[in-house]
Structure 1
């Protein structure tokens, strides 16, 4: 297996597909630590399954590999996974006209993960957990009042 770029390979071959790691879309990371987008377009700790689900729903050819980004310190399965996506056809045209570049695809994935049903359930449960604590808090009772 050669590591050099081979111009004889076609865009439809798996080796020519672009790679997306979950660290690219993690708003807990800095740009120096692997994030590729602005924080407002990213989500907290995305998984490779969520990225794969969004790309499959968009109708793209997707492959999943058990790889780890070099800047990822944690070896946990949650942070593992590399997604390969076919971005261009053999003639060089985009597979989907909505995603002509890698950056446009990353922006779509980042904004779409937050709309997943699994993410919606986590947000609503965290909001419900925070509401009772604020309603039961004692107001006006401080250490200095007697």
Structure 2
């Protein structure tokens, strides 16, 4: 069996698309655990839906598969999902000149996930709930008698 390039497989075949796991962009993981980017370019616990949304908005062809990265210890649904992305046309040219490589796609996703509306609302609601919790603790000095 030869490992050479198979001309019958085109870049438009889904098996030839690059794979992105949420683990690659998780700031809570180390490089040894599978993170691919520097921590400052990553986000905390990204989901495959967030990655898919960012890539679709960039105009890339995307497919989602129910797979788990081999180094991922947690079997939770939050960490599941593999995203496949078509980087090249059948003639070998990039589908989108802004994304010639896997790293360029990962950097794009890492910078845009924090700007998603779902991330924005989580941060603001988290701050509000902590303020409400501290406010509700005031005035509860005396119990019922």
**1:11-50 alignment runs, 5 A limit:** 11-50=11-50
**TM-score normalised over the length of structure 2:** 0.86
Tell me the matched-pair count.
136
Give the aligned CA root-mean-square deviation in angstroms: 2.0
Q: Distance in 1 between matches of 2:65 and 2:4?
A: 20
Aligned to 1:89: 89
**TM-score normalised over the length of structure 1:** 0.85
Shift of 1:91: 1.2
**1:60-99 alignment runs, 5 A limit:** 60-99=60-99
Aligned to 1:113: 113
Shift of 1:134: 6.5
Q: Distance in 2 between matches of 1:57 and 1:16?
A: 21
Aligned to 2:6: 7
Q: Distance in 2 between matches of 1:90 and 1:128?
A: 50
Q: Distance in 2 between matches of 1:99 and 1:7?
A: 24
Q: Distance in 2 between matches of 1:16 and 1:34?
A: 21
1:19-48 deviation per Cα after TM superposition (whole angstroms, max 9, x unaligned): 000000000000110100111111111111
Shift of 1:93: 1.0
Aligned to 1:141: none
Unpaired runs of 5+ in structure 1? Answer: 139-146
Q: Distance in 2 between matches of 1:50 and 1:113?
A: 6
